[in-house]
Chains A and B, each alone.
Chain A
Amino acid sequence: MKTGLFKKISTLATIAVAAGLLGGCATSGNPKDPIEGFNRVMFGFNEGLDKVIIKPVATGYEAVLPTPIQTGVSNFFSNIADLMIGVNNLLQGKPAQAASDAGRVLVNTTMGFLGIIDVASSMGMEKHEEDFGQTFGRWGLTDGAYIVLPFFGPRTARDTIGLAFDVYTDPVSHVDHIPTRNTLLVTRVISDRAQLLKADKVIEEAALDKYSYVRDAYLQRRRSLIYDGNPPKEQESTSDAESEQKSAEADEAAKVALRQ
């Protein structure tokens, strides 16, 4: 099962690269997105899947369940995730955060009834967001090409490897009782999706081209996460109106420099 998963993901990556080479003509030349042709197809597939199955179920879930129960479900999974978040913080050389994450799991699993109530947050132990992709980024691995994976959605090459580690170390995927495991996995997908319902309309309206809007948002978000919300500024900022032009140029230059 475990090696099977790695195999599956590496096969996926191979297909992605192959399709990208074939579909190379469909790109608009973004250096971060060399396999845009393939990615757009996958993006369409995921959008279709979301529209037909995941979104309707998540909408129903949100409409039927009272908010406290939704919070409880989301907290339950959040608590399980805190375990590996702690490990990743440790791997990133942030022992204080890691200790806080371990404390969160301890407090929430006991006082919070298996994580259903997030007691730790009200005690001032902040929730973090870490994964192996970020850890590798922290270690200096560059992000590589942007890839849209089927089911999992946007990733970079680095985050795809990170994802394999995330799935491999995910406590939920190690539950032996298969029906329980599958129920947990599905519930988690629905609970996560339900939280994004409000953002849907906003993105739909804001984007000129949803594919590139989502791609660029993903890349920006990952960059911000690696720096724990404080990425170095990409633009050089000047305030007077006359230097607008200059600042836009500097901004672009900074971006180009970053890519290299």
Chain B
Amino acid sequence: MKAFALLLAAASFLLPLGAQAQETAPDVLVKNVTTEVLDIIRKDKDIKAGSTKRAIELVEQKVLPHFNFTRMTALAVGKDWRQATDAQKKALTEAFKELLVRTYSNALIAYKNETVDYKPFKMQPGETDVTVRTQIHQSGAKQPISLDYSLEKTPQGWKVYDVIVAGVSLVTNYRSSFATEVRNGGIDGLIKTLQAKNKSLEASAK
């Protein structure tokens, strides 16, 4: 009986902790992930030497779990997303994810020594779609670059679905070139183009 009470006490102690971990506020999430990743990037020997591969590993491990790539791909593809089959959607998401991860990793390497400021964040209770604003201060530059993250609330916690650099969405910026690809070669054409792009980038990376 005593043991049971103890277990119950332990459970009631652990339960809210678990729930809390899932409910990490979006601004805290962005801050934690950024701090952790920048910390590793600044220390890691391979990344210091310019290893894109290592940086990609890091991003895949630390950053990826907090992104909703299906949503990102749907936003980038726009109205053509409707005509894609489930298999095509999957292939598109996979290829687009690879491209974005590589771009993001290289940006992290390029800007690793800059400082990040977190702008004050306010959220109404019950909100499910928010923007967390940060600023990158570049040494030698007159103006900081804004770097904003759009997040949505999912059952798995807050997930990033757009990254906006200096007012430019890295996701919707692809929309017109994706539309052109789809017009020329259909959804499969777009998938092939993305895969070819990824392959050529992989071949030229260290």
The interface of chain A, by Cβ under 8 A from chain B, is: 28, 30, 62, 67, 70-71, 74-75, 77-78, 118, 127, 129, 194-195, 198-199, 201-202, 205-209, 212-213, 215-217, 220-221, 223-225, 229, 231, 234-235, 237, 239-241, 244-245, 247-249, 251-252, 255
**Quick check: which of B19-27, B30-38, B73-81 contacts chain A, the rest being far away?**
B73-81
- The reply on B53 being an interface residue by CB < 8 A is no
- The reply on B140 being an interface residue by CB < 8 A is yes
**Quick check: which of B2-10, B41-49, B57-65, B141-149 contacts chain A, the rest being far away?**
B141-149
B85: min CB distance to chain A, Å? 13
- A215 CA to B138 CA, complexed, in Å: 24
The interface of chain B, by Cβ under 8 A from chain A, is: 70-71, 74-75, 77-79, 81-82, 99, 102-103, 106-107, 110-111, 128-129, 138-143, 146, 150, 152-154, 166-170, 172-178, 180-181, 183, 193-194, 197, 201
The main secondary structure of chain A at its interface with chain B is helix
Q: Which 3 A-B pairs have the closest CB atoms?
A: A224-B167, A78-B142, A70-B140
- A134 CA to B51 CA, complexed, in Å: 41
Question: Once the chains bind, are A195 and B129 in contact (CB under 8 Å)?
Answer: no
Question: Once the chains bind, are B176 and A216 in contact (CB under 8 Å)?
Answer: yes
Given the known inter-chain contacts A235-B75, A239-B154, A248-B81, please indicate yes or no for A206 contacting B177, CB distance below 8 A: no
Please tell me which one of the listed residues B99, B172, B178 contacts residue A206 in the complex, with CB atoms under 8 A apart: B99
A189: min CB distance to chain B, Å? 14
Closest residue of chain B to A244, judged by CB? B74
Chain B residues whose CB sits within 8 angstroms of the CB of A30 once the complex forms = 176
Question: Once the chains bind, are B78 and A201 in contact (CB under 8 Å)?
Answer: no
Chain B residues whose CB sits within 8 angstroms of the CB of A70 once the complex forms = 140
- A231 CA to B166 CA, complexed, in Å: 12
Can you report 16 residue pairs joining A to B where beta carbons are below 8 Å apart?
A28-B180, A74-B140, A118-B142, A198-B138, A202-B103, A208-B178, A212-B177, A216-B173, A223-B167, A231-B167, A235-B172, A237-B150, A239-B129, A244-B81, A248-B82, A252-B79
Closest residue of chain B to A203, judged by CB? B103
Question: Once the chains bind, are A212 and B180 in contact (CB under 8 Å)?
Answer: yes
A86: min CB distance to chain B, Å? 15
Chain A residues whose CB sits within 8 angstroms of the CB of B150 once the complex forms = 237
A29: min CB distance to chain B, Å? 8
- A145 CA to B153 CA, complexed, in Å: 38
Chain B residues whose CB sits within 8 angstroms of the CB of A241 once the complex forms = 70-71, 154
Please tell me which one of the listed residues A75, A77, A213, A221 contacts residue B166 in the complex, with CB atoms under 8 A apart: A221
Question: Once the chains bind, are A239 and B177 in contact (CB under 8 Å)?
Answer: no
User: Given A78-B143, A216-B176, A221-B166, 15 more contacts at CB 8 Å?
Assistant: A70-B140, A77-B142, A127-B142, A194-B140, A201-B110, A202-B103, A208-B181, A208-B197, A212-B180, A213-B174, A213-B177, A224-B166, A240-B154, A241-B71, A245-B81
Given the known inter-chain contacts A75-B142, A127-B143, A201-B110, please indicate yes or no for A239 contacting B153, CB distance below 8 A: yes
- A78 CA to B177 CA, complexed, in Å: 35
A184: min CB distance to chain B, Å? 16
Question: Once the chains bind, are B82 and A251 in contact (CB under 8 Å)?
Answer: no
Given the known inter-chain contacts A205-B106, A212-B177, A249-B82, please indicate yes or no for A129 contacting B143, CB distance below 8 A: yes
